[in-house]
C-alpha cells in the first residue's frame, strides 16, 4: 500500500498569509494507510520554521485515531528501535524532516473503518500550532 502525498502550506495559529510569510510551513504530508491486520499508520512531512525562535511540537492528535505519538527510529549496534520522543524541535529558520527510518508520527488504532482523509493537530504545550489534512490512498 502507498499513500498519496499532498503538498500543503499552512500557518501558525490560523494567521494565514502567503506561504513565505507563514510562521510554520508543512510540505509533502504523507499518511500511510494501515496494513491489513495492523492498527497503525505513520505520518511523514517536512516542517519549516520561519520564525526567529525554536518551535517545540510536544504532542499530536487526530480525530481518526485513538492515539498519535511522536516517534524516532534509531539504530544501535545494527538493531533498529522505534521509541516515543517528548518533543520535535524545529530551530529558527530550519526545516525538520519526518521520514521513514527517522522522526515520524505513529497513528494508532483507527476509529473509522475507512480512512479517506486524516486530520492532524500539532501542539506546543497547550497551543495549537497547526491543523493539517491529507488524503490517504489505498492500492
Q: Which domains does the chain have, with CATH numbers?
A: 12-135 (2.60.40.1890)
Going by C-alpha positions, the residue among 44, 60, 25, 62 that lies closest to residue 104 is: 44
Distance (Å, whole) CA 8 – CA 25 = 8
Q: Out of 11-25, 42-56, 81-95, 96-110, pick the least confident.
A: 11-25
The single residue listed with the C-alpha cell 486524516 is 118
Whole-number average pLDDT of the chain: 81
For the full predicted model, state whether its pTM sits above 0.85.
no
What are the pLDDT digits (tens) for 13-67? 333 334 457 899 988 889 888 888 889 999 999 999 999 999 999 999 999 999 9
Amino acid at each position: 500500500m502507498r499513500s498519496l502525498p499532498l503538498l500543503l502550506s499552512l500557518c501558525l495559529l490560523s494567521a494565514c498569509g502567503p506561504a513565505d510569510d507563514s510562521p510554520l510551513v508543512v510540505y509533502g504530508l504523507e499518511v500511510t494507510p494501515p496494513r491489513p491486520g495492523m492498527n497503525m499508520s505513520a505520518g511523514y512531512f517536512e516542517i519549516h520554521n520561519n520564525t526567529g525562535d525554536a518551535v517545540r511540537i510536544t504532542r499530536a492528535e487526530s480525530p481518526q485515531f485513538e492515539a498519535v505519538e511522536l516517534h524516532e527510529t534509531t539504530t544501535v549496534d545494527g538493531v533498529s528501535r522505534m521509541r516515543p520522543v517528548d518533543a520535535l524541535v524545529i530551530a529558527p529558520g530550519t526545516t525538520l524532516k519526518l521520514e521513514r527510518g527517522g522522526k515520524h508520527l505513529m497513528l494508532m488504532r483507527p476509529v473509522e473503518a475507512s480512512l479517506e482523509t486524516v486530520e492532524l493537530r500539532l501542539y506546543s504545550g497547550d497551543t495549537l500550532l497547526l491543523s493539517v489534512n491529507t488524503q490517504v490512498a489505498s492500492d
